[in-house]
Amino acid sequence: MKPFTVAAGLETGTLTGDESYYCGGYLHVGDNDIGCHLRSGHGTESTMDAIANSCNVALMEMAEKIGIDNFIRYQHIFGFGEYTGIDLPAEASTASLLYTTDTMTPVDLATNAFGQNFNVTMTQLAAGFSSLINGGYYYEPHVVKQIQDENGNVIETKNPVLLRKTVSTETSELVKTYLQAVMQYGTGKRAQVEGYDIGAKTGTAQKLPRKDGKYLLSYIGYAPQENPEVVIYVVIDEANVDAQDNSSLVLELAKNIMSEAFPYLGITTMEETGGESQTQQSGQSFEDTEYSDYDQDYTDDYSNEDGSYVDENYKPDLDSWATSSNID
Ligand SMILES: [Zn+2]
């Protein structure tokens, strides 16, 4: 969730990316001390460090500058709480899982900013994240891109449907440098797969009630850094171990998946692109950004009240699946 918060700040001009933060292990918000995951504190951090370290305090400070109205507006621009329109039956409404400008308090803003206290679906997150790293283009998610018959004839092609622009190209590029830092020196580095230039964000969400010590661990990454070809999103919901808040579990799983999937999918290696891309683009200015405000035309038109995204006639052909051979 943290990259989305930073992106909202950059897009609204409430953040430049050049700020520095100080994490002493907690931040006082309202009547509460809200802790960072590193109780001893991360010390002084750049925006890049804040993302690489996954620092809650820096993110809460960012959110304070962004403000409730901007923050909530961008949650919807990124598709959280909205129907994605994915071609699966019975997509559920998630609007009630988010705060509104009327219900959000400063404490809610602070905890939402680092990814706690609200919920999104994996489809929403994967679609929103893809837009964040592809230059800001939010596409309608699909399960398959083409359907063929047994002879290889194309029966149906799902053409990409561009729904909206979430962020500018400049914001996308800058956020990607932060995500690359996560893999180079931050919380994701143990998932690094040799030969690939990967950007990513890790997540550790504590489930309610907190005293139960139940956690949801996640890793969302992409490769290559330049012109990403694939997004991988791994979630472990309540790992079957004593200490569930152990991020190495999800890092190891993500690494294993990427190690096998990237060569199979033919993802571009660092060798093919001539090495790692530059991490830091210093002195980048957002003031000259030529950016059309797509948000003006944006409407929440993914209401599923009429069931238009539910195919009543859909019946899975279980017999066919059961008998078809998976060996090719
Ligand atoms: Zn911190």
Ligand 1 centre to CA of 215 (Å) is 19
Q: How many CA atoms lie within 13 A of 93 on its CB side?
A: 10
Residue 239 CA, ligand 1 centroid: distance in Å: 24
Higher pLDDT: 17 or 118? It is: 17
Q: In the 3-class helix/strand/coil scheme, how is 85-103 assigned residue by residue?
A: CCCCCCCCCCHHHCCCCCC
Separation of alpha carbons 9 and 165, rounded Å: 16
Compute the distance from residue 146 Cα to the ligand 1 centre, in Å. 45
> Ligand 1 center to residue 328 CA distance, Å?
50
| pLDDT level of residue 275 (50, 70, 90 thresholds) | low
The Cα–Cα gap between 292 and 255 comes to 38
pLDDT by residue (tens digit) across 138-164? 999 999 888 999 999 999 998 888 999
Centre of ligand 1 from the C-alpha of residue 40, in Å: 8
Ligand 1 centroid to residue 56 C-alpha, Å? 5
Taking Cα atoms as reference points, which of 293, 288, 3, 295 lies closest to residue 133? 3
Domain with CATH 3.40.710.10 in the chain: 1-142, 175-273
Q: How far is the CA of 309 from the centre of ligand 1 (A)?
A: 42
81: left (phi over 0), alpha (psi -120 to 50) or beta: left
Better pLDDT: 30 or 279: 30
For residue 114, how far is its CA from the centre of ligand 1 (angstroms)? 11
**According to the CATH classification, is domain 1-142 in 3.40.710.10?**
yes
Q: How many CB atoms lie within 10 A of CB 223?
A: 26
CA of 187 to the centre of ligand 1 (A): 12
Cross-strand partners of 231: 222
Query: How remote is the CA of residue 52 from the centroid of ligand 1, in Å?
Result: 10
| Distance (Å, whole) CA 205 – CA 218 | 8
- DSSP secondary structure, 176-212, as one string: HHHHHHHHHTSTTGGG--TT---EEEEEEEEPSSGGG
| Separation of CA 10 and ligand 1 centre (Å) | 20
Q: pLDDT grade, residue 276 (50/70/90)? A: low
* C-alpha distances in Å from residue 131, one per residue of 134, 162, 209, 229: 5, 10, 33, 12
Centre of ligand 1 from the C-alpha of residue 26, in Å: 7
Residues 197-224 have pLDDT tens digits of: 999 999 887 777 778 888 889 999 999 9
The gap between the terminal CA atoms of the chain, to the nearest Å, is 39
DSSP class per residue in 148-171: E-TTS-EEEE----EEEE-S-HHH
Which of 71-75, 78-82, 118-122 shows the lowest per-residue confidence on average (mean pLDDT)? 118-122
On whether the CB atoms of residues 230 and 236 are closer than 8 A, the answer is no
The residue among 95, 99, 171, 97 whose CA lies nearest residue 131 is 171
What spacing in Å lies between the alpha carbon of 61 and ligand 1's midpoint?
11
Three-state SS string over 229-254 comes to: CEEEEEEEECCCCCCCCCCHHHHHHH
Cα 25 to ligand 1 centre (Å): 6
pTM to 2 decimal places: 0.82
Q: How far is the CA of 57 from the centre of ligand 1 (A)?
A: 5
Q: What is the mean pLDDT of residues 225-245?
A: 90
Interval between CA 186 and ligand 1 midpoint (Å): 12
CA of 39 to the centre of ligand 1 (A): 8
Q: CATH code for 175-273?
A: 3.40.710.10
**Cα 38 to ligand 1 centre (Å):** 6
Distance (Å) from CA 67 to ligand 1 centroid? 20
Q: How confident is the model at residue 98 (pLDDT cuts 50, 70, 90)?
A: confident
- Residue 304, C-beta contacts closer than 8 angstroms, at least 6 positions apart: 83, 91, 93, 310
CA of 204 to the centre of ligand 1 (A): 14
